[in-house]
Amino acid sequence: MKITGLLSVSALALAVLTITSCSKGKFHINGNIAEAEDSMLYLENIGLDGPVKIDSVKLEKDGSFAFSEERNDAPEFYRLRIGNQSINLSIDSTETVSVKAAAPTMWYQYEVNGSENCRKIKELALMQIDLQARVNALAAAPGMGADSTTLAIQAAIDAYKDNVKRNYIFKAPMKAYAYYALFQTINLGSTTTLIFNPRSEKDDVKVFAAVATSWDTYYPDAERGKNLHNIAIEGLKNIRIAENNRRAAAIDASKVQVTGLIDLPLTDNKGRERHLTDLKGQVVLLDFHVFASDQSPKRIMALRDLYNKYHAQGFEIYQVSLDENEHFWKTQTAALPWISVRDDRGISNVYLQATPGLPAYFLIGRDNSVAKGPSQIKNLDADIQALL
């Protein structure tokens, strides 16, 4: 996933989706940059890995310029740059885009004609500049406490996101300006962050997914569309794991009885109802597990070692999946030798002792009572041996 590469480019220099035709052709960018005599004007392609110079010209006194390049099969995004001043342009097939500006203020004061996408991108850029100014003013406002400042800044960002989602992204997710909006950034102190956060905000991941789906329709083989899907999938995975951990930490310990006879009737991955009480007479590791977590493969390997080592002596594993996706759980557990069940109510409805997070396990003795909880198990191998 190439979020990092995109963030390394300036907030206005981001790859955008554009509408293209199936035939090859030339696109043209021309215009005038005043107050820039003897300056080098660069035309750069902004790819997923950052800007690449494709042409340049030394401006004469009148500041006129003209670039002509063969367009790619997939939509692309370009920028005009003098020093650290730049103008973002999306290219729609073989169109001609005209730009007029003055070098000292070209990054926010310019005219663009010949492209609706370029015009909308300019609107978004100016809105972003205004948002940054308001955030800076709130951060510097005297007499506001830290909490009030944080709330006010978040409210300004949320209002911006709502406006952009309704009037730019969801109205036309296949457009270049919708793609551009996904990767706008804002500076919060010394940190530059995406306004739409696809890593941990569920609603923002949905926005990325909407544009990715639209891209699939119009440009099914485009690398940018595949990258958007990767971002959305990774974000959903992060959110699922974070929610699972929050729910586990919020479980009421008073609802859990860690001594005495227990039962946990759940359906296994073969459709049979399994009871903990049916395992009386064996030493059981009751394992609450999330297969979608990054730590799952390593943990499963460790459990395999324990199972292979002690199963013949009367050791069993009763593993409860807390994954939301039933098909995913069945796929992950198809080859496991122990009992694999799933609680489809989710973590918040599982009566286990409150722990710092998942995974978590309990050791159950041959009398079907809990011998040790998560906080009491220091050496799992040794504790199993002692119970056997």
pLDDT score for 246: 58
Contact 306, 283 (CB under 8 A): no
Instruction: Name 318's bridge partners.
Output: 286, 339
> How far is residue 95's CA from residue 77's CA, in Å, rounded to a whole number?
13
Please list the pLDDT of the chain residue by residue as tens digits (388 residues).
444 444 433 333 343 333 333 445 899 999 999 999 999 999 999 988 889 999 999 999 999 999 999 887 767 889 999 999 999 999 877 789 999 999 999 999 999 999 999 999 999 999 999 999 999 999 999 888 888 999 999 999 999 999 999 999 999 998 989 999 999 999 998 888 999 988 878 888 888 888 888 887 888 777 887 888 788 777 777 766 666 555 555 444 444 444 445 567 888 999 899 988 899 899 999 988 888 888 888 999 999 999 999 999 999 999 988 888 888 899 899 999 999 998 875 544 343 433 445 567 889 899 888 888 777 788 999 999 999 9
Instruction: Name 186's bridge partners.
Output: 193
- Domain extents in the chain: 26-114, 125-246, 265-386
CB burial string 255-274: b at 16+ within 10 A, e below: ebebeeebebebebbeeeeb
**Which structure tokens are listed for 49?**
């890995």
**Strand pairing class (26-34; 64-70):** antiparallel
Nearest to 287 by CA among 247, 241, 246, 338: 338
Nearest to 294 by CA among 350, 238, 337: 238
List Cβ neighbours of 175 (8 Å cut-off, separation of 6 or more): 17, 19, 117, 120
* E runs forming strands in 295-351: 315-321, 339-342
Instruction: Give the CA distances from residue 154 to residues 160, 206, 245, 322, 344, in Å, rounded to whole numbers and listed in that order.
Output: 10, 19, 25, 33, 35
> How far is residue 101's CA from residue 121's CA, in Å, rounded to a whole number?
16
> How far is residue 73's CA from residue 68's CA, in Å, rounded to a whole number?
16
User: 39 φ, ψ to 5°?
Assistant: -85, 150
Hey, what CATH class is 265-386 in?
A: alpha beta
User: 200 φ, ψ to 5°?
Assistant: -145, 5
pLDDT score for 10: 36
Listing DSSP states for 228-288 in one string gives: HHHHHHHHHHHHHHHHHHHHHHT--GGG---SSB----EEBTTS-EE-GGGGTTSEEEEEE
Contact 192, 134 (CB under 8 A): no
Predicted TM-score (pTM) of this structure = 0.59
Nearest to 72 by CA among 259, 221, 183: 221
When computed from its CA atoms, the radius of gyration of the chain, rounded to whole angstroms, is 29
Say whether domain 26-114 belongs to CATH 2.60.40.180: yes
Q: DSSP 3-state assignment of 160?
A: helix
CB burial string 76-98: b at 16+ within 10 A, e below: bbbbbbbeebbbbbbbbeebebb
> How far is residue 286's CA from residue 358's CA, in Å, rounded to a whole number?
13
> How far is residue 340's CA from residue 269's CA, in Å, rounded to a whole number?
6
Instruction: Give the CA distances from residue 74 to residues 21, 55, 90, 184, 349, in Å, rounded to whole numbers and listed in that order.
Output: 9, 20, 12, 21, 48
Helices 202-218 and 223-249: crossing angle in degrees, nearest 10, is 160
**Strand pairing class (370-372; 360-364):** antiparallel
pLDDT score for 151: 92
Please give the single-letter amino acid code of residue 303. Answer: L
